[in-house]
Amino acid sequence: MNIVEILEQAIQSDDIVLKEALTASCLDYCSQNEVSAPRDFVPTLFLHPSYASKCHIVDPKDLPARKDFDSKEGLATLVHAVAHIEYSAIDLALDAVYRYSQMHMAYKKDWLEVASDEIRHFKMLEALLHQLGYVYGDFPVHSGLFDAGVHTAHNLLDRMAIVPRYYEASGLDVNPQIIKKLDNKRKNKEVKQLIDTLMLIYAEEIDHVFKGDKWFKYVCAQEGVEEGQEEVAYFDILARYKLLSKHRPHVNVEARKEAGFSCSEILKLGAKVCS
């Protein structure tokens, strides 16, 4: 099996069924075989996200506000926004295997498993979108996660810091707040379905961030970062990417601790208390 070619096809495809089949094939193969890219392999830097053929991409500030969850359209805008995050995360997880092919098999299996989870999450949200009368691509999206992947393509340490340990970890802060806002509308069957889906995503995203934390610390050691200095390296990277000034009204202390963050890091990110 030429796993490099299969991953490249999966990353560039806008067909979720094909992505799922190719991801499952790679995961099955990697669970039973050692896989390495050719010595002369140079990964492609993808210039456009795979969803560009389906979605209208706009600047984040041009996205419509999502406030009215009582109407089907209002709820659909929220479902679509979460589905877009999950779709973007599929390609990032696949790219983590494709681009950093020097990493060993445990790393490859971890991120193929993450991609498989993200596909399942997306399909659940897509099904709910269809129930509401919409499809993925009916609302505008931004390319923030894709851009983060491009910006970190040159450096695995940056990728692990920025994608799972920053963006996915931020989802752990936001997800419970969305559920809280929806809770008084759970008598609506679509809202109840969305809450159940968000709770499942939340539980599995903790594991995804934990995997990012594990491999961030592994690469720190490989690159000569002294034990105990990983926190310094992390915040240096966030500073380089100008992410330290982002306001976090809610920092999910328990979820971040479960995902590998230290209390020192959590306090620096804006939590009032951590013990």
Judged by DSSP in three states, 69 sits in: coil
pLDDT tens per residue across span 66-108: 777 889 999 999 999 999 999 999 999 999 999 998 898 999 9
Cα(246)–Cα(243) distance, rounded to whole angstroms?
6
Burial of 183 (0-12, 13-18, 19+ CB in 10 A): exposed
Report the amino acid identity of residue 63: L
Q: In sequence order, what are the residues at sequence separation of 6 or more whose Cβ sits closer than 8 angstroms to the Cβ of residue 77?
A: 64, 66, 139
Burial of 213 (0-12, 13-18, 19+ CB in 10 A): buried
Q: In sequence order, what are the residues at sequence separation of 6 or more whose Cβ sits closer than 8 angstroms to the Cβ of residue 243?
A: 162, 166
Write out residues in the chain with pLDDT < 50, as ranges. none
pLDDT tens per residue across span 45-68: 999 999 999 999 999 989 887 777
